[in-house]
Amino acid sequence: SLDLGDLEVVNPGDSVEVTVELGKAVPMEPGLGFAVREGGRTVAAGVVTAILD
C-alpha cells in the first residue's frame, strides 16, 4: 500500500514523501532507486530514504 498522507493527488513533476508497505519482502536499502508501475507503465519513481519496521 502507498500512504500519501493528506494528499489526494500527485501531479507529474511534484515531489512528495510517501510511506510504502510492500506485500512481500524485497531487499532494499536507503539510497536505492525504485519505480512504481501500473498496467505496464511507470507512474512514479523515487529513492528509498529510510527503512521502517
User: What pLDDT, in 10s, does the model give residues 19-39?
Assistant: 888 899 999 999 999 998 999
* Amino acid of residue 20: V
Report pTM: 0.74
Gap between the Cα atoms of 16 and 29, Å rounded: 19
Gap between the Cα atoms of 48 and 51, Å rounded: 8
pLDDT above 70 covers a percentage of the chain that reads: 100
Number of Cβ within a 10 Å radius of residue 27 = 5
pLDDT of residue 8: 87
Query: Looking at the domain that runs over 2-47, which CATH code has it been given?
Result: 2.40.30
pLDDT of residue 2: 78
